[in-house]
A and B are shown apart, each in its own frame.
Chain A
Amino acid sequence: MPTKKEKDDLTGQETTGHEWDGIEELNNPLPKWWLYVFYASIVWAVGYMLLFPAIPSLTGYTKGLLGWERRAIVEQDIRQARAAQATYLDGIRETDLSGIMGDPDLLNFSLRGGEAVFADNCAACHGQGGAGRPGGYPALVDDNWLWGGDLENIHHTIAYGVRNEHSDSRSSQMPAFGGMLDRDELRSVTEYVISLAREPEDAELAEAGREVYATQCAACHGDDGGGMTQLGAPTLNNDIWLYGGERGEISRQIANPRHGVMPPWEERLGEEMVKMLTVYVHALGGGE
């Protein structure tokens, strides 16, 4: 600290006493407005710390005098949103699925709501817009259904899921034919399954597999490969494949089949949301 107040000759302003190459630093006071805003901020900060959650401790944090809590606000927002949708949600609860399809208001609400719920809960496996994913996640936009594509069947599948612990869950199991058929039988039945969907490469080999198919596969997948939705047995006579349509992929699926699982959704999403999802999935294009 300089003991003597030094003044700049030109402006008459007090200097800090610092000088570089003849340039002196003037000791201008802080702008008043800035200083007062700074003091006001300190006062504000004290009040804020008292009123709102502010100081963390090892086990929690100070709650503040106002009892403000973000979680409570979100819950209230959700309650308000639900209340605003009440007329539609009540309508959906009280109307059966075909009734919803026939009511333009409920239909539109279900399509919009279903789209949002689908994006949040279903799209991770079934893809955006129900486009499906390779490796056993079926597309929902086409007309090929594992467990049936009418409103009731779609609703049942969404509500209770596939191969899970729920007592109403869809359930079926395809045996692993790798241990039951020999190499030649496996090769020929694979070629036969291909021939159901498209032109086989080796017609003779496919013909040899007809017998094996009739005895081992037709019970579930149907004589013509039409599948059976009651058992979740996929259609084989079209070119839509759950686990891939290459010869190796089909053969692997016969020898040691993989099975997809899906959780039950009704408990988690509630009755109305599942109904909305059903209508949305049905309207993706493949609904029967």
Chain B
Amino acid sequence: MSESSIRTEEARSRKQQKGDKLFAGRVKVHPMNVRGTFRRLKWAALGLLLAIYYLVPWIRWDRGPDAPNQAVLIDLPGRRAYFFFIEIWPQEVYYLTGLLILAAIGLFWITSLLGRVWCGYACPQTVWTDLFMLVERWIEGDHNARMKLDKQPTTGSKLAKRTAKHTVWIVIAAATGGAWVLYFKDAPTAVYEIFTLQASLALYGFAALFTAMTYLLAGWAREQVCVYMCPWPRFQAAMFDEDTMVVTYESWRGEPRGKPKKGKAHVSPREVPATPASESRPGLAAIDWEKANELYGEEKVDGLGDCIACNKCVAVCPTGIDIRDGVQLECIGCALCIDACNDVMDRLNRPRNLITYDTLRNQDLRAQGLPPKLRLVRPRTVFYTLLLAVVAGAMLWSLAFRATLDINVLHNRTPLYVTLSDGDIRNGYTVRILNKTREDRAFTLSVAGLEDMRLSVVGAEVSPDQTARLTARPDTTATYRVHVTAPRESLDGTVNSLTFNLNDDLGETAVHDTVFRGPE
């Protein structure tokens, strides 16, 4: 392996290129292709997530003849959300809130353990940017070829390459935007309508919006979304502690970095580590120099750290940073620099993991030649795990005991009460019965709270015991106008409490407390 093929000295981080300028325009990042463990992991995550995104709308789920058979569907006109066996009404949108809380805590949890793996592997911005970069590499070539192409004057072949790239990007973006709307409308119908130009303007509009956003964010904005737009990098440091796994550079063995010197032997600080007794040099390779000199002879040792300053780690970075500057906001934790560096270390026969996935505490220990220690169970992680369990438990509990019946009673306010010709007082109520099952249901409505009151329901008979039989059709809200009349002597002041009870024949009960108003 010749050294020139390793060196990519022109690769400079965005920070270096911007220099000390108060304002500098965007520095375009041309990430280089890389192979290795983390790259394979990233491809696997990309494949899995895209497969989930594109395939989930096509999963079918039988719910009976009158309901959509799409497993995951947000039916906006029908005011229902379906998720496999779960069926959510608009007033139960707190399940969505719960899901978002769960996602947020899950994010904190995984970040405190493994650093920014969400940013590096699972965030849609990362996944689609990666996909767009893959297309770019296929069409325009790798790092050097793309840098050269950028500098070239516009020629036919450059124009052709650019056109091809943007065309493929827009096709991918359209597939992304197109798949998004499938979550809101029966997928086979929607696809048929879209391609036969029968879909609604709203459908095309949203598909176009998400197409444009995908194209702009993944094709043009890329790392700027992470660096300037996303709030998460700004407070993710709050989830970190010294025991969090992060992508980091072992400066204790990398520094001083430099080209290998001809005729001199290189001693890796990994192989002849410093002992706690040996003198430590802050920021520099901690080597037991006495021992090294003993092994190789004083004249022969090059005195350099393991980093050969090839800048491969900078060249492959999708956000264009130099990880050797330390943990920084722009680092999305994708670990591609580890793959790049390991490749170089292997070729030069030096120990791997000069850029490593490790905790800051372990780095301190390793620098002092002490054995590393991984602490996964910490107050922080225990707290997040418990919180996760509590929220998930609460959601499961509320889902398992979710009522299939609900009653809503609105006291009519215009007027608050009516005085009848015989002096009795009447109040009006709008009663809504939510039947969340897929069957017709009949209920008995009764009212409690006042003496000698009389019930009447528009469109339903009231039996002598002052109860009414009400029905509600499957999966609907039935609305009834109910009047309650009470003699003036039964009232105690202007506001009296009143309770509506709704019982179905199978024993499910819904209760709603309201008021009965009267004159002063």
| Chain A residues at the B interface, C-beta cutoff of 8 Å | 101, 104, 107-108, 111, 127-129, 131, 139, 141-144, 235, 238-240, 283-286
Whole-angstrom distance between the alpha carbons of A129 and B456 in the complex? 18
- Cβ of B420 within 8 Å of any chain A Cβ, yes or no, is yes
Name 14 A/B residue pairs within 8 A (Cβ), A-sorted.
A104-B471, A107-B459, A129-B415, A139-B415, A139-B418, A141-B418, A141-B428, A142-B421, A143-B421, A144-B420, A238-B423, A283-B458, A285-B418, A285-B426
User: Are B421's CB and A111's CB within 8 A?
Assistant: no
A171 to chain B, nearest CB (A): 24
User: Are A111's CB and B458's CB within 8 A?
Assistant: yes
Could you give, for residues 337-366 of chain B, a 1 whenever the CB lies within 8 Å of some chain A CB and a 0 otherwise? Answer: 000000000000000000000000000000
User: Are A131's CB and B414's CB within 8 A?
Assistant: yes
- Cβ of B419 within 8 Å of any chain A Cβ, yes or no, is yes
List residues of chain B with CB within 8 A of the CB of A143. Answer: 420-421
B417 to chain A, nearest CB (A): 9
Chain B residue nearest in CB terms to A129: B414
User: Are B415's CB and A285's CB within 8 A?
Assistant: no
B149 to chain A, nearest CB (A): 22
17 additional contacts (CB under 8 A) given A111-B479, A141-B418, A142-B418: A107-B459, A108-B479, A111-B458, A111-B481, A127-B414, A127-B415, A128-B414, A131-B414, A131-B415, A142-B420, A143-B421, A238-B422, A283-B458, A283-B459, A283-B481, A285-B426, A285-B428
List residues of chain B with CB within 8 A of the CB of A108. Answer: 459, 479
Could you give, for residues 468-505 of chain B, a 1 whenever the CB lies within 8 Å of some chain A CB and a 0 otherwise? Answer: 00010000000101010000000000000000000000
- Cβ of B412 within 8 Å of any chain A Cβ, yes or no, is yes
Chain B residue nearest in CB terms to A111: B481
B489 to chain A, nearest CB (A): 16
List residues of chain A with CB within 8 A of the CB of B459. Answer: 101, 104, 107-108, 283
List residues of chain B with CB within 8 A of the CB of A286. Answer: 418
The number of chain B residues with a CB under 8 A from chain A is: 19
Which of B412, B421, B456, B458 is in CB contact (< 8 Å) with A144? B421
List residues of chain B with CB within 8 A of the CB of A128. Answer: 414
List residues of chain B with CB within 8 A of the CB of A127. Answer: 414-415
Q: Which residues in window 232-254 of B have CB below 8 A to A? A: none
Could you give, for residues 400-430 of chain B, a 1 whenever the CB lies within 8 Å of some chain A CB and a 0 otherwise? Answer: 0000000000001111001111110010100
Whole-angstrom distance between the alpha carbons of A71 and B419 in the complex? 46
User: Are A240's CB and B421's CB within 8 A?
Assistant: yes
User: Are B479's CB and A141's CB within 8 A?
Assistant: no
Which of A141, A235, A240 is in CB contact (< 8 Å) with B415? A141
Chain A residue nearest in CB terms to B420: A143
B362 to chain A, nearest CB (A): 48
Could you give, for residues 287-312 of chain B, a 1 whenever the CB lies within 8 Å of some chain A CB and a 0 otherwise? Answer: 00000000000000000000000000
Chain A residue nearest in CB terms to B473: A104
Whole-angstrom distance between the alpha carbons of A131 and B417 in the complex? 9
A137 to chain B, nearest CB (A): 13
Whole-angstrom distance between the alpha carbons of A101 and B419 in the complex? 25
Known contacts A101-B459, A141-B428; A285 and B483 CB within 8 A of each other: yes
Nearest 3 A/B pairs, CB to CB: A129-B414, A238-B421, A131-B415
Whole-angstrom distance between the alpha carbons of A283 and B428 in the complex? 10
Whole-angstrom distance between the alpha carbons of A216 and B421 in the complex? 24
List residues of chain A with CB within 8 A of the CB of B418. Answer: 139, 141-142, 285-286
Whole-angstrom distance between the alpha carbons of A128 and B413 in the complex? 9
Whole-angstrom distance between the alpha carbons of A139 and B479 in the complex? 24
User: Are A107's CB and B458's CB within 8 A?
Assistant: yes
Chain A CB within 10 Å, residue with most, of B419, B471, B483: B419
Whole-angstrom distance between the alpha carbons of A283 and B456 in the complex? 10
Whole-angstrom distance between the alpha carbons of A164 and B471 in the complex? 43
User: Are B458's CB and A142's CB within 8 A?
Assistant: no
Chain B residue nearest in CB terms to A101: B459
Which of A101, A104, A107, A235 is in CB contact (< 8 Å) with B421? A235
Chain A residue nearest in CB terms to B424: A143
A108 to chain B, nearest CB (A): 7
List residues of chain B with CB within 8 A of the CB of A239. Answer: 419, 423
List residues of chain A with CB within 8 A of the CB of B412. Answer: 129
B484 to chain A, nearest CB (A): 10
A205 to chain B, nearest CB (A): 24
A130 to chain B, nearest CB (A): 8
Chain B CB within 10 Å, residue with most, of A101, A139, A143: A143
User: Are B419's CB and A240's CB within 8 A?
Assistant: yes
B475 to chain A, nearest CB (A): 16
Whole-angstrom distance between the alpha carbons of A142 and B414 in the complex? 12
Q: Which residues in window 436-468 of B have CB below 8 A to A? A: 456, 458-459
List residues of chain A with CB within 8 A of the CB of B456. Answer: 285
Whole-angstrom distance between the alpha carbons of A128 and B428 in the complex? 14
List residues of chain A with CB within 8 A of the CB of B420. Answer: 142-144
B216 to chain A, nearest CB (A): 13
Whole-angstrom distance between the alpha carbons of A128 and B483 in the complex? 17
Chain A CB within 10 Å, residue with most, of B418, B458, B471: B418
List residues of chain B with CB within 8 A of the CB of A107. Answer: 458-459
